[in-house]
Amino acid sequence: METTIRQLHIHAETRGTASDLPLVVFLHGWGCEGKIFGALLDTAVEKYPALSPDLPGFGASDEPPAPWSVDEYADLVCELIALNGAKEVILVGHSFGGRVIFKLASRKGLPFAISKIVLFDAAGVKPKRTLGYYRKVYTYKLGKTVLSWKPVRKLFPHALEEFRSGRGSSDYANASPVMKATLSKAVNEDLSPLFPHIQPPTLLIWGTADTATPLSDALRMEKELVDAGLVRCEGAGHFSFLERPALCDAAFRSFLEI
């Protein structure tokens, strides 16, 4: 499926035949694209129609014209669901896709019902900052200030860019300026206040060795979401559904009654 929403070209994979059953909407993580859910898509369409878009800035979809908030991604997903004519959806998200789902599921007056949610290693909890973190941030800001001075830039024209590239996450380092600002907006927003307002039954599937969104995030979500259960993938990291496919597929099938 190729469409235009908000003057952006959006690529999305559509699978299955439209029916009265919910549309399963897959929302990928940062730096990924819709096809990462390949095996889970295959499972979903044994029973349901499915939609797996490349979110703006990823895969074959256009980059936003300016830095977007998570709310703007949620708005676009709403429009994409409307184009598919779905009145009921099951939302499946990984990492950043979980952020978008938290925004959607906490909204009132949506033009569709959310019957279930599946979250793999979802983002949304703002991490606690240690003294070491603040020391690192202070050092970075000081270094950036010094290397931004005109005399220094004249003597060392590439020093600032090299300094920046050597710090921060690989997601940030590999992003365009627009997507860097978009990522900063996302990671600095704490979505945990939304958890008590999210009503649909939610399955949390998590790698116990995830360092990007640690298991403690999942335990908090399990406690604070209205109706949630947790499946732990022992030893798996941030991509639990790729690292433990059999376990994740079994849990996914059971929850969606496939």
Could you tell me if 202 and 223 are in contact, meaning their C-beta atoms sit under 8 angstroms apart?
no
Helices and strands of the chain, counted as H and E runs: 11, 8
Q: Quick one: pLDDT at residue 27? A: 98
| Residue 108: Cβ within 10 Å count | 5
Read off the pLDDT band of 235 (50, 70, 90). Answer: very high
Beta pairing partners, 88: 113
Higher pLDDT, 222 or 145: 222
Nearest alpha carbon to residue 57 among 71, 68, 44: 68
User: Which pLDDT tens digit goes with each residue over 74-133?
Assistant: 999 999 999 999 999 999 999 999 999 999 999 999 999 999 999 999 999 987 654 454
Nearest alpha carbon to residue 48 among 27, 76, 26, 32: 26
Q: Quick one: pLDDT at residue 175? A: 77
User: Which pLDDT tens digit goes with each residue over 44-67?
Assistant: 999 999 999 999 999 999 999 999
- In the chain, where does the domain assigned CATH 3.40.50.1820 lie? 2-126+189-256
Could you tell me if 144 and 160 are in contact, meaning their C-beta atoms sit under 8 angstroms apart?
yes
Could you tell me if 100 and 67 are in contact, meaning their C-beta atoms sit under 8 angstroms apart?
no
Beta strands in 56-146 (DSSP E): 88-94, 113-120
**CATH class (in words) of the domain with range 2-126+189-256:** alpha beta
* Residue that is written with structure tokens 């979809």 in the block: 61
Q: Read off the pTM.
A: 0.84
